[in-house]
Structures are given as C-alpha cells and as structure tokens.
Amino acid sequence: MPVTGEYEPSPSARVRKHVEEMETTGVPTGTPLDKPIVVMTFHSRRSHKVHKTAVMRVEHDGSYALVASKGGAPQHPQWYHALTVHPEIDLQDGTEKHAMRVRELHGDERAEWWKRAVEAYPPYAEYRRRTDREIPILLAEPV
C-alpha cells in the first residue's frame, strides 16, 4: 500500500535535489562518492506528513539496509525515529518503487548487514568511529 498524505519536502536542498532527480529520472547526480542511493517515502512520527529522504543503497536479495548514521553525529536521524513508529515505507531504487516494511536489526544479522553497508559505502566505518552510539540499521523488506 503506497504511503500517501500531505507531502512536506526536506529542509535540505541537497535532499530535495536527490529526491526530485530520483523521481524524475531514477538517477541522481552528485551523490556522496558518486555511489548509488535509494529514496524512502515515509510518514513523520509527529505531524504524520509524508517525508522523503535519500540513503545510500545497500541491497541484498531484494531487501535494503537503511543505515541511520547521520554522518557519525551523536544522535540518530529523525527518519530513524519516524520509521520505528511508522514502519511501512515506499522505497525507490532507480526507477523501481517497492512497498516495504522495516525492522531494526540486532546481533549477528546486524553484523552481517553492517559489513554489507561498509562494502557499499566505506565512509560508514569512519562514521562509526566518530560516535559513541551504536548506529542503527533498519532492514526494509518487501511486503
């Protein structure tokens, strides 16, 4: 079921640009290290408005890791909190859109996906060194 409702664009010009490019062409430009991204559409936890944000593409067998790194900041990104309340999302990978449900990973499963995430986007390892918090990984799986 698609995520619907009133859309509230990101305050970040970079995020708005990536979302717009993904929605119109499926190929955003100027991504970090020119690595692929995916765009997730979700409901905010407070206003329940529709938000969209881009994250690095970490895919395996049709599931996607959503790494809540926030560049190694001391706090989790807002989208992490939203997805723990509203786990149903739409995810766009290139021109393909998928209805997904997210869950947080722990233990060996988290370790396996962390390895995949660092392989897909090596700066995650540095982000981990910058923060005292464990960087959450949410797994988006097809519904």
Q: Where are the domains of the chain?
A: 13-142
Q: Are 12 and 98 within 8 A, CB to CB?
A: no
Q: Are 71 and 126 within 8 A, CB to CB?
A: no
Distance CA 42, CA 50 (A): 6
Q: Are 137 and 104 within 8 A, CB to CB?
A: yes
Q: How confident is the model at residue 114 (pLDDT cuts 50, 70, 90)?
A: very high
Judge: domain 13-142, CATH 2.30.110.10: yes
Q: What is the pLDDT of residues 16-49, one digit of tens each?
A: 999 999 999 998 888 888 899 999 999 999 999 9
Distance CA 12, CA 71 (A): 15
* Residue 12: count of CB within 10 angstroms of its CB: 12
Residue 93, classed as helix, strand or coil, is strand
Mean per-residue pLDDT of the chain = 95
Read off the tokens for 47: 């206003």
pTM for the full predicted model: 0.94
Read off the tokens for 94: 């290139």
52 vs 30: which has the higher pLDDT:
52
- Side-chain half-sphere of 52: how many Cα atoms within 13 Å? 25
